[in-house]
Copies of this chain bind each other. A is one copy, B any other.
Amino acid sequence: MTSNNGHTNGHAVRKINFGAGPAQLPLEVLESVQAEFLDFNGTGTNIMELSHRSTAFAKVIEDAEQDIRDILSIPDSYAVLFFQGGATGQFSAVPLHFLNLKPSQTADYLVTGYWSEKAAKEAEKFGKVNWVIPKGSKYQDVPDEDTWKLTEDPSYFYYCSNETIHGIELIDVPAIVPKHVPIICDMSSNFLTRPFDVTKYAVVFSSAQKNFGISGLTLVILRKDLIEKTCNKSIPTILDYKIHIDNGSMYNTPPTFSIYITNKMFNWIKQQGGLKAMNELSHKKSSRIYEIIDQSNGFYINSINKKYRSRTNIPFRIVTNGLPNEKLETLFLKQASQLNMIELKGHRAVGGIRVSLYNGITLEQTNILIDFMRTFQTNNN
């Protein structure tokens, strides 16, 4: 069934998709969905044709919540919510609920790349935002914490734990932020790739389409007591945390098929060995790619401070005579594609190549890319 470059289902080779998202799903998850496509669990329908109030779907969403509570050891004092609207929806929901939580009426935003910049600008629509570090342009590093300008008692501190476009990852909560400050984190591109302590956060959110599902679904984990302290009565219902909590994420029709896929992905992560296994896999895959880059004598260059190199998104340039060589990069993409490796083009803001290594990418697939990178360098150095 499995070929060197992917998987054949009798008539086509499965590509290896290194894209930044929506991302590749594990083949076994896809096959399981396909097998029950006309009859989910004896219902005689596809799950996406069933009412969200049906017993069958109720079990799907309850299982999904329980699984993620198990996977992350989420305590009862936190709500687990399923939203529509992507991380972009949460960029609004967060300030709409919490910007005026403290008398300072100011939120601290650590802007380390494209997505935290978007979040900060969205928050500015609704109130006062303090940029903790000066606006960057290249986003290849994070200034030392002792240079950060923090608000005395901010309503919250916001950051993005992994910048998908720039490839910057902050593994830990910044130590300089005082314990009493609510910390809000966008984990959209590294959620469920490693264990973390939920209780360090006030709110964690992540869109599903990178590490645990498909687009159209955003998971929000939220400390429930915070909700009692908000006073904004003009929050659109689809962004309202309290309404979602009170209605088990089913005030209105949720994205049922996306939740069903996420339920499968949570199951798959558990079967793989949970976040410990995901962490090991993520570490192995990314460190091998960085090794190739660092041992290439400057043929491949990743410009991110090593301390902040992302495990899930690795942008790099192909360099000859000290300059990025776009012609070689185009050739790289073309030859990779001929070997069934797709979606490797870097974001236009950065250029070059980007390798995204989400949960759905196997070690075997990563090794195929590594072999190709080696050969490509030998042939073009």
Contact = CB atoms under 8 A, between A and B. Distances in A.
Contact of A37 (B7, B33, B214, B255): B33
Contact of A257 (B6, B214, B342): B214
Interface in A253-268: 253-258, 261
A24 B27 CA distance: 27
A202 B34 CA distance: 41
Contacts of A126: 234
Contact of A44 (B14, B44, B89): B14
A22 B256 contact: yes
A237 interface: yes
Given A37-B34, A50-B22, A51-B343, A216 B258 contact: yes
A207 interface: yes
A203 B125 CA distance: 25
| For the complex of A and B, 7 pairs with smallest distance between CB atoms | A216-B255, A92-B236, A15-B44, A12-B39, A88-B252, A84-B84, A34-B37
A330 interface: no
Contacts of A13: 44
A322 interface: no
Interface string A24-42: 1101001101100111001
Contacts of A89: 84-85, 236-238
Residue of A7, A54, A126, A215 most packed against chain B (CB within 10 A): A215
24 contacts: A6-B44, A12-B38, A14-B39, A15-B44, A17-B50, A19-B54, A21-B253, A22-B50, A23-B49, A25-B46, A25-B48, A44-B340, A44-B342, A84-B84, A85-B252, A87-B252, A92-B237, A96-B236, A125-B234, A125-B235, A209-B253, A216-B257, A236-B236, A257-B257
Given A39-B14, A126-B234, A258-B255, A214 B48 contact: yes
B44 A12 contact: yes
A251 B30 contact: no
Interface of A: 6-7, 9, 11-15, 17, 19-25, 27, 30-31, 33-34, 37-39, 42-46, 48-52, 54, 84-89, 91-93, 96, 122, 125-126, 207, 209, 214-217, 233-239, 251-258, 261, 340, 342-343, 360
A257 B256 contact: no
B30 A15 contact: no
A85 B238 contact: yes
A314 to B, nearest CB: 17
Residue of A13, A23, A37, A236 most packed against chain B (CB within 10 A): A236
A164 to B, nearest CB: 11
Given A44-B14, A50-B17, A236-B89, A255 B215 contact: yes
Nearest to A340: B44
Nearest to A235: B125
